[in-house]
Structure 1
Amino acid sequence: MVVVDDVRRSFGTGQQAVHALRGVSFEVRRGELTALKGRSGSGKTTLLNLVGGLDTPTGGSVALDGTDLAGLDEDGRLALRRDRIGFVFQSFGLIPALTAAENVGVPMRLRKVPAKQREERARTLLALVGLSEHTEQRPGELSGGQQQRVAVARALANEPDLIIADEPTGQLDSDTGRQIMRLLRAVVRSEGVTALVATHDPALMELADRVVELRDGRIVEASPGEDDPHPQG
């Protein structure tokens, strides 16, 4: 599903350049949840931005289901993010003035999905994440864990191939964070999507199919699933 090949990303030039990624290579298989592990500053967010088409590498390549992202123009990357990738952020990223159902419906509005179909899918997705009774509540009326569940439902709105989650449990207590990771694990299985989740919490790694560790912009460890014959992807 995702192939990252010798990816490098630098910011600035000359002696002032910051090398965020230094030749990163790995693969994420279709239908698996891969955890991207590393401390702050290790390059996790930079790598997620490249995989999500939000940034372009200085060198190397990123491909999604055979499509080299470098070959897409801005409109192509926009369509990729809208139609094939769902994003979940640490800060939830919900629109305060909208209800939970309306927040889930935002990506579908961008695709001009008819209102009735949009509302039905929003209800279905909120039920999937356990929020059937909270569809009309606004983010300020929900707990942090409930807001992140809305964000997960929103990420699924356009039936993406890939979910990218950047520290989705970072603002949650440990128990709620584990519930969100279990939810992502269940969603990957039930919806048949692939997920790449950045986290620095070792307690959450056990729920992933595979763990890739970044340190100073390089992969230092990649632990495969039991049936993965290629330990380094």
Structure 2
Amino acid sequence: MAGQSAAQSAEQSAGQRTGSTPMVVVEDVRRSFGSGERTVHALRGVSFRAHRGQLTALRGRSGSGKTTLLNLVGGLDSPTSGRIEIDGTDLSALDEDGRLALRRDRIGFVFQSFGLLPILTAAENVGVPMRLRRVAPAEREERVRTLLALVGLAGHADQRPGELSGGQQQRVAIARALANEPALIIADEPTGQLDSETGRSVMELLRAVVRSEGVTALVATHDPQLMELADDVVELKDGRIIDPS
């Protein structure tokens, strides 16, 4: 109960700081693939909200629709029907250039497979999104140093991914996701390739980042042990949200 009270207090404080509008609004979203008898209904009328300054976990078995939902929220795909709003922007109102700008400027992505460029150092990997935005070198280097320190890797800036552990690589990926100061972080099974202890430390880092950076995080996971670290949990089964009651 005490944990719930703390979470409620955090939500109220976040609401006072940023207003009551949720960061993510998903309304009756459906996504189907194929046609006729071969149609696959990946999402079947999903609705939920992710609040600003909180970590929302998407829970469900493989095939429940978690990744499909994250791709839609991140603007990587479009729903068959329904509405998705990110930070007050209706995704259906954006053309492809608008979606690209949204992903570049407002959303940070963290993947299960880390997604780091093997020939670049940790610092260079973190700096890639800022290079794409043509951030001035001095500003970029300062931001990289700050982010590597934030994720506990200040002493590993010059190491390449192959010289880092899985947990360290995922920390680099989190720092990279924060490079352009996004409003929303989307993480798809970020602990999936890590042992349980390292996975928990990465999830704790994500929660700490949400608190310190004031971002919103939407994290897909199938690990029930990580649910206690989330402010809110949305459970999916067969493309539908399960009512926790």
Q: TM-score range by the shorter chain?
A: over 0.9
User: Which string of whole-angstrom CA distances, capped at 9 and with x for unpartnered residues, describes residues 202-223 of structure 1?
Assistant: 0000000000000000000358
**CA–CA distance in 2 between the matches of 1:82 and 1:112?**
12
1:118-137 counterparts in 2 under 5 A? 118-137=140-159
**CA–CA distance in structure 1, aligned partners of residues 244 and 221 of structure 2:** 14
Whole-Å Cα distance in 2 between the matches of residues 52 and 222 of structure 1?
Answer: 25
Aligned pair partner of 1:37 in 51, 59, 62: 59
Trace 1:191-202 onto structure 2 (pairs within 5 A): 191-202=213-224
Give the one of 17, 28, 31 matched to 1:6. Answer: 28
Alignment counterpart, residue 25 of structure 1, candidates 33, 36, 47: 47
Cα RMSD after superposing both structures: 0.8
User: Does the CA-based 8 Å contact 1:148-1:180 persist in structure 2?
Assistant: yes
- The answer on 1:71 being equivalent to 2:100 is no
Q: TM-score, normalised to structure 2's length? A: 0.90
Q: In the comparison of the two structures, how many residue pairs are matched?
A: 223
What SS does the aligned partner of 2:79 have?
coil
**Offset, 1:12:** 0.5
Structure 2 CA distance for partners of 1:222 and 1:53, relative to 1, 3 Å: farther
Q: Identity over the aligned pairs, expressed in percent?
A: 81
* Alpha-carbon separation, structure 1, partners of 2:123 and 2:162: 14
Q: Equivalent residues in 2 for 1:97-116 (5 A)?
A: 97-116=119-138
Question: Does 1:206 find its partner at 2:228?
Answer: yes
Note if contact 1:149-1:180 (Cα within 8 Å) is conserved in structure 2. yes
Partner SS, residue 221 of structure 1:
coil
Contact 1:214/1:221 (8 A) holds in 2: no
* Residue type of the alignment partner of 1:33: L
Q: Deviations over 1:133-174 (max 9, x none)?
A: 000000000000000000000000000000000000000000
Q: Is the 8 A contact 1:2 1:28 kept in 2?
A: yes
Name whichever structure is richer in helix by fraction: 2
SS of the aligned residue for 2:243 comes to: strand
Residue identity matched to 2:163: E
The one-letter amino acid paired with 2:179 is: A
Instruction: Report the TM-score when normalising by structure 1.
Output: 0.95
1:181 match: secondary structure: helix
Matched, 1:158 2:180: yes
C-alpha deviation, 1:116, in angstroms: 1.3
CA distance in 1, matches of 2:40, 2:163: 41
